[in-house]
Structure 1
Amino acid sequence: MSSFWKLVALGAVMPAAASAADLEIAHWWTSGGEAAAVSEVARMFDERGEHRWVDGAIAGGSGTARPIIISRILGGDPMAATQLNHGRQAEELIEAGLMLDLTELAEAEGWRDIVTPVTLLDACTVDGRVYCVPMNIHSWQWLWLSHQAFEDAGVEVPTNWEEFVAAAPALEEAGKVPLAVGQQSWQSNGTFNVMSIALGGLDLWRQVYEEKDADAAASAGMAEVFAGVDVARRLSAGSNVQDWNQATNMVITGAAGGQIMGDWAQGEFAIAGLVAGEDYSCLPGLGVNEVISTGGDAFYFPVNRDPAIREGQLALASHLIAPDTQVAFNLRKGSLPVRTDIDMGAANDCMKRGLEILTRGDTVPDLAMVISPDTQGQIEDLMVEFWNDFSMTPEDAQARFASIIASAD
């Protein structure tokens, strides 16, 4: 008997079992690797025979899906469960009483003892109550490298950012785009955030983002970051693609030397049949500062008066954090599991590097956990302009960045 059904029998979750329910699950996992991962989770859930997963995928990524999801919840047409990123995105929905309280289930199954790092569960917690189930750990801090591209260019595969920049002329001479970056704003902003830690260091990152120190944002250390981003935007000038997975495909096919992207890119490499360490390499922290962020995805469950739906929501929450689900999903997704008491022996070389860094504790919270969506939006707008307007100098961009940090919340 599963932990969930033991709770039902004890009356801890529901006073009595209800009938099976069709559960609409909203998410934005639509790329090849993502779809393979979520399909496996859905299959496993349906095989339990208790309730049915009705897929509610929304194409276009989080920037497109999140407003639709929130609009539906606020408009009284909620889905049974929805993906959101760890952070402060659901605070107002929780405060409005629109999200299901999962505290009894979390306590009965000991989520605080199994979720690592526990900050992921803290990100689900408001006023001591748990409102979401962490699904995975996604880290942004990776540089993915195409072995084919560097072989075609006649240079060694780099081991750090400095070597990557030095190899760029050879890549360009061979007709390659050195750095693939899609045109969506979150991609250029994400690249900036990665370089903030890799080139500026962890202490500076904490001063800027956690302490909201405007002087640190205007410092010489941050100037080095902006100089690095200036180089990166120039190396990516030829990558005329839109979506992140299209940029990843440039690395997969050898059209680009590398891509700064989160570990979800691994799902695309797996679908393409590429092998980590043989066909592509990964540099956590750009090979400079091996630190990873511990953001990722969580599932929230909008309040529903139908007892069958509510029972299904709790069954789904239990399923998402169960050991077999965590293994199956994260191996396909390329993300790290939220629990360490499971066998990840089948992980590839890059995932194992991530697990080692996680075990060492060389982590930082995801940016969405330490700054508000408004501050994040302002920085993203700045990065879009800086990335695309080469008349804007690194010094000008840094001055505007320091001003944003000065009023950050």
Structure 2
Amino acid sequence: MKTIRTLFAATTALCAATAVSATELEVTHWWTSGGEAAAVAEFAKAFNATGHTWKDGAIAGSGGVARPIIISRILGGDPMHATQLNHGRQAEELVEAGLMLDLTDVAEAEGWRDIVHPTSLLDSCTVDGKIYCVPVNIHSWQWMWLSHKAFADAGVDVPSNWDEFVAAAPALEAAGKIPLAMGQQPWQSSGAFGVLTVAIAGPDAWLEVNANKNAEVAAGPEYAKVFQAAAAARAMAANSNVQDWNQATNLVITGQAGGQIMGDWAQGEFQVAGQVAGVDYTCLPGLGVNEVISTGGDAFYFPKNDDPEITKAQKELASLMLSKEVQVAFNLKKGSLPVRGDIDLSAANDCMKKGLDILAKGNILPDGNQVLSADTTGQIEDLMVEFWNDPSITAEDAQARYAEIIASAD
């Protein structure tokens, strides 16, 4: 009996200790589409398995909607415990204000600099030598997604590059298809413009303008070709009357539209819809012209708090997000590339394998969020919204205004 009582007491004490150490963390993010929700559920499942609790704080809408809400809460003294942001300069001012948890001890203990590839992702989390975020994926804008059904219905071959896509547009329209699916959110048109820039003007020109803020190149002949291409894209997207990016992706999935310029997160939507890369849809990195990967993506930041148990749980979550198992499970659902270069992704589909191959070759560019301030990015988005929605704005006028923004960019 004494043994039973002893065991019971020990079990009770263990349960009590576990209950005390179990912590609930509120995690905010803007992953609300079908593919995104399936991916973030992998984070939640892994964290809950530790005995802690993931309190989901999904914010409907895009990052442009969510980020001001997230930042307002942190500045207003009502911070969440962890939050998605894009790795880059979006959290720069919050870090400088001392509002974000320093993760350097975790990063050094686990050798993040040795496993995160490319290391520029970790550099984007680093301010004054200290690491303030955990990068969880590589999301590249540099993709175009093509519907096999749409082109079959139009009686033309699936294009292998941008020029072939433009040439096929009349046949798509004659078949009652929207050539180019495009949502109405500002970041979508701005992002598509960036993809066109890399494909048509080339990576060097893109770097010269975005990284070096060279307004002369922005006003020059290479960028003139980009704006002409953007004007053609605007005409092809004229009847794409949807708002959200995943609604535009659905037009491609259902064969109502020929293609969409969108980042690799679109791949998660094709997966949820049960479509197979190379069978139901084709992906063109760099529009089939300049095959590069931009190393943008998502990272998680952890606002400071005064509770040591919460701080401990925050660091556990940061570590978990970068673990091999979670990196595989999350990125296979998300359609993004892992930030670890030492994991097995044999289950990746054709499009993800294309991205991994490009990454392995070192054909990479920084993401716009890594080289442009939030203010400059906002100005470019405002211009692109006007341009894509108002055909009276000529390519020449838009280019002149764009060059002015670059001339004063920070």
| In 2: Cα distance, 1:29 partner to 1:273 partner | 19
- 1:401 equivalent in structure 2: 402
Paired AA for residue 396 in structure 1: D
- 1:181 equivalent in structure 2: 182
* 2:77 is equivalent to residue 81 of structure 1: no
> SS state of the match for residue 21, structure 2?
coil
Contact 1:23 1:309 in 2 (8 A): yes
* 2:235 is equivalent to residue 228 of structure 1: no
Percent of residue pairs bearing the same amino acid type: 71
> SS state of the match for residue 346, structure 2?
coil
Which residue of 26, 29, 49 maps to 1:27? Answer: 29
| In 2: Cα distance, 1:66 partner to 1:389 partner | 27
Paired AA for residue 34 in structure 2: G
- 1:299 equivalent in structure 2: 300
How far has the Cα of 1:185 moved from its partner?
1.0
Contact 1:18 1:307 in 2 (8 A): no
Paired AA for residue 402 in structure 1: A
> SS state of the match for residue 100, structure 1?
coil
TM-score, normalised with respect to structure 2: 0.95
- 1:249 equivalent in structure 2: 250
- 1:318 equivalent in structure 2: 319
Structure 1: 5+ residue stretches without partners: 1-16
| In 2: Cα distance, 1:378 partner to 1:69 partner | 21
> SS state of the match for residue 72, structure 1?
helix
> SS state of the match for residue 343, structure 1?
coil
- 1:42 equivalent in structure 2: 44
How far has the Cα of 1:18 moved from its partner?
6.8
> SS state of the match for residue 138, structure 2?
coil
| In 2: Cα distance, 1:150 partner to 1:220 partner | 33
| In 2: Cα distance, 1:76 partner to 1:405 partner | 35
Within-5 A mapping of 1:68-107:
68-107=69-108
Within-5 A mapping of 1:190-229:
190-229=191-230
| In 2: Cα distance, 1:195 partner to 1:241 partner | 21
How far has the Cα of 1:211 moved from its partner?
1.1
Contact 1:144 1:281 in 2 (8 A): yes
- 1:261 equivalent in structure 2: 262
> SS state of the match for residue 328, structure 2?
helix
How far has the Cα of 1:275 moved from its partner?
0.2
> SS state of the match for residue 56, structure 1?
strand
Per-residue CA deviation, residues 75-134 of structure 1 (Å, 9 max, x unaligned), is 111111000001111111111111000001100000000000000000000000000000
> SS state of the match for residue 392, structure 1?
coil
> SS state of the match for residue 283, structure 1?
strand
For these two proteins, the number of residue pairs brought into alignment is 392
Structure 2: 5+ residue stretches without partners: 1-18
Within-5 A mapping of 1:112-151:
112-151=113-152
| In 2: Cα distance, 1:374 partner to 1:248 partner | 28
| In 2: Cα distance, 1:203 partner to 1:315 partner | 40
How far has the Cα of 1:203 moved from its partner?
1.1
TM-score, normalised with respect to structure 1: 0.95
Larger mean Cα displacement after TM superposition, 372-381 or 102-111 = 372-381
> SS state of the match for residue 240, structure 1?
coil
Larger Rg: 2
Within-5 A mapping of 1:282-361:
282-361=283-362
> SS state of the match for residue 330, structure 1?
helix
Per-residue CA deviation, residues 335-390 of structure 1 (Å, 9 max, x unaligned), is 00000100000000000000000011101000011111111111111111111111
- 2:171 equivalent in structure 1: 170
Paired AA for residue 344 in structure 1: L
| In 2: Cα distance, 1:79 partner to 1:403 partner | 38
Give the superposed CA RMSD.
0.9
| In 1: Cα distance, 2:191 partner to 2:241 partner | 18
Larger mean Cα displacement after TM superposition, 270-279 or 389-398 = 389-398
How far has the Cα of 1:48 moved from its partner?
2.1
How far has the Cα of 1:274 moved from its partner?
0.1
| In 1: Cα distance, 2:132 partner to 2:358 partner | 28
Contact 1:323 1:342 in 2 (8 A): yes
| In 2: Cα distance, 1:160 partner to 1:391 partner | 28
| In 1: Cα distance, 2:46 partner to 2:125 partner | 24
How far has the Cα of 1:40 moved from its partner?
1.7
Contact 1:177 1:239 in 2 (8 A): yes
* 2:112 is equivalent to residue 111 of structure 1: yes
Larger mean Cα displacement after TM superposition, 52-61 or 330-339 = 52-61
4+ long deviations beyond 2 Å: none
* 2:292 is equivalent to residue 280 of structure 1: no
